Structures are given as structure tokens and as C-alpha cells.
């Protein structure tokens, strides 16, 4: 799986069209859509964290509980 993804990454640099073809086949095959799903999940988690950070930033009277905000978000809140 890792090797397959590494190959796709390399191909993406060398020939984007072929890498896209592989990704399409991956989705149709159904068995290696894991990377795609994790990409989407990661993006959604990151978007959620950004959205929550923005709300806390605009509502400075509301202090998030200690330990809830990670350093990256804390920096964003300043």
C-alpha cells in the first residue's frame, strides 16, 4: 500500500495524467480508496479545527478549556 502510494506520488510528479488514472482505478476497485478517504477526513478535521479556532478568536471572552487547543491553534488565536 505504501509502495503503491509512493509510486503514485512519483508518477504524479513525472506524469500527472497517469497518476490520475491510477487514482480513478483505485476508486473503482474500491479496495484502496483508503488514502482518498483519509485525505478527505484529514481535510475535514483540519477545517473543523480552523473553524472552531476562528470562533474562539472572535469570542475572546470564551476561553477554551485548558489543554483543548493545540499549539498551532493557540498561535492562530493570538
Partner 1 sequence: MKKLAIPILAIALTFSACTDNQLEQVAKSLLVAAKSIGIVQTTVIEANKQGLITDETTSLILAGCIKANQAGQQASAITRSISKLDPASRQQMIPMVQSALGAVSASLVIDLSSVKNEQTKQAVLTGLTTAQTALNLVLTTLSTTGN
Contacts with partner 1 by CB under 8 A lie at 1-4, 7-8, 11, 14-15, 18, 21-22, 25-26, 29, 31-35, 37-38, 40-42, 44-49, 51-52, 55-56, 59, 61-65, 68-70, 73
- Least distance to partner 1 from the beta carbon of 75, Å? 15
User: DSSP of 7-36, one letter per residue?
Assistant: HHHHHHHH-HHHHHHHHHHHHHH-SS-HHH
* Cβ distance to partner 1 smaller for residue 34 or 75: 34
**What angle, 0 to 180 degrees and rounded to 10, lies between the N-to-C axes of helices 16-29 and 2-14?**
150
Strand, coil or helix: 69? coil
- Least distance to partner 1 from the beta carbon of 56, Å? 7
- Rounded CA-CA distance 36/22 in Å is 12
- Least distance to partner 1 from the beta carbon of 12, Å? 12
Amino acid at each position: 500500500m505504501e509502495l503503491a502510494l509512493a509510486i503514485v506520488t512519483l508518477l504524479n510528479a513525472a506524469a500527472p495524467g497517469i497518476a490520475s488514472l491510477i487514482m480513478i482505478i483505485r476508486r473503482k476497485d474500491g479496495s484502496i480508496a483508503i488514502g482518498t478517504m483519509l485525505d478527505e477526513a484529514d481535510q475535514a478535521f483540519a477545517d473543523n479545527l480552523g473553524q472552531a479556532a476562528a470562533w474562539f478568536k472572535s469570542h475572546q471572552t470564551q476561553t477554551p478549556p485548558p489543554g483543548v487547543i493545540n499549539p498551532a491553534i493557540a498561535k492562530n488565536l493570538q
